[in-house]
Amino acid sequence: MFTEARYRQYIRDFNSTFVGGMTLEDFFDAYYEPDATFEYVPQARKNIRREEVLAFWHGVGGKMREVILDHTHFLENETTVASEAPIDFLCKEDLEWNGVPYKAGTKFRLMMCAFYHVSPNDKFTYARVYSIYNPAYKPES
């Protein structure tokens, strides 16, 4: 079963990919089935299989540094994990994210809700991540 302790390690490992820790490739292989789908909402963009998911993550990582903070809610059973957590972003370049323009060096925070389907191998087969932006969500300086 994908426990809360394992999920915390998953988040630590994901965050490490932005600062010279685990590679995104190794991260994917450790936590996802090869044919997993990663869906990002609000764009409703589905990245299917390892290569597409990695291309999406590398694309985001090229534009900004992402840090998922401790979750505020967490639920799990044998086949599903659900969590809610704030995510801080640091823009590496001028960009627009979810319809909001940001300058290089700008920090912003989203609230993330994520739902994961878990395989019998204790890896994710499907991840659906919802990001909610509100200007009142402020990252720590």
Which pLDDT band, with edges at 50, 70 and 90, does 141 fall under?
A: low
- DSSP-assigned letters across all residues of 101-119: EE-TT-EEEEEEEEEEEE-
For the four alpha carbons of 52, 55, 60 and 66, in that order, the dihedral sign comes to: positive
pLDDT at 43: 74
Q: Which two tokens stand for residue 28?
A: 């994917």
Q: What are the tens digits of pLDDT across the range 107-126?
A: 999 999 999 999 999 999 99
Locate tokens 């994908």: which residue? 2
pTM of the shown model: 0.91
Domain 4-133's class?
Answer: alpha beta
Q: Which two tokens stand for residue 102?
A: 């940001």
Domain positions in the chain are 4-133
Q: What are the tens digits of pLDDT across the range 37-46?
A: 999 987 778 9
More confident residue, 97 or 24: 24
Q: Which two tokens stand for residue 41?
A: 């909402």
